[in-house]
Homo-oligomer: A and B are copies of this chain.
């Protein structure tokens, strides 16, 4: 069964309403945008909510391709079941607004295995100062940066990784921080998809002349249901090459379990001619 959430800002902003024939209606909420374009992880979480409802299962691996920027307002999600199996369901979906596809998605849904063991773990959770000693990037309406989206979640950056905002990048394409929903809203597998795309671009810390990195595709593997409490995010880029870059994310819960692994591929905008 899909994760039971207490109602909260994310649950409301990502709510879907079942229409018929696998179609759902939803509303892209005000403020979940980056300079006017809806956040990709937020949009993908709405698609995943529709697919979780349609399959009656939890997101295990979900891929979204981002085709056009979303704006606040109504959207429709058209889901289509590819296979409803005994253990997994695979389905695809599009998120459409005004007749235009914003997101094309494909996912496999199933159950988490709470009793199962960790047989191999070759990484550790990031070593973060306490939440109150990390840096919250609050939205500044005057300059529109940090984006309004930062007021919809509670993201606290590692102080070492937050210097880019005041012109002191670390020189490493790496971002670490704490992720919470506002007002103590519990973080289920769908909110994990938001966490997978909520950090400032890793390139902001790399000292590269790249302002903006539009996401082509984001894949999130949710490995376990997060334990209650804030998540720790550890995101890095190893390759900015041939016009593209990847962002690899690890998401850890309060029980020091790696609960999700994500990768996106984004475009390096061409310099103005």
Which residues of A approach B to under 8 Å, CB–CB? 60-61, 63, 65, 67-68, 82-83, 85, 88, 90, 92, 94, 101, 104-108, 112-114, 116-123, 173, 203, 206, 208, 210, 216-217, 219, 221, 223-224, 236-246, 257-258, 261, 263, 265, 268
Q: How distant is A210 from chain B, measured CB to nearest CB, in Å?
A: 8
Would A121 and B239 count as touching, CB distance under 8 A?
A: yes
- Residues of chain B lying within 8 A (CB to CB) of residue A245: 120
Q: In the bound complex, do residue A239 and residue B120 qualify as a contact, i.e. CB atoms below 8 Å apart?
A: yes
A256 to B82 alpha-carbon distance, docked (Å)? 39
In this complex, what residue of B is CB-closest to A243?
Answer: B113
Across the interface, A208 reaches (CB within 8 A) one of B68, B108, B119, namely B119
Q: Is the CB of A219 within 8 A of B63?
A: yes
CA distance A107 to B195 in the complex (A): 23
Complex Cα–Cα for A38 and B241 (A): 33
Top-7 shortest CB links A-B: A120-B240, A122-B238, A113-B243, A119-B240, A106-B106, A118-B241, A82-B104
A85: chain B residues at CB < 8 Å are 67
Chain B contacts for A112, CB-based, 8 A: 242
Flag if B216 contacts A241 (CB, 8 Å): no
Known: A65-B90, A65-B106. A119 touches B241 (CB 8 A): yes
A130 to B93, CA, bound (A): 46
Instruction: Choose among B68, B92, B216, B268 the residue that contacts A60 (Cβ–Cβ < 8 A).
Output: B216
Contact at B63–A242, with CB atoms within 8 Å? no
6 further A-B contacts with Cβ under 8 Å, apart from A116-B242, A122-B173, A224-B242, are A67-B82, A68-B83, A108-B217, A221-B246, A223-B241, A223-B242
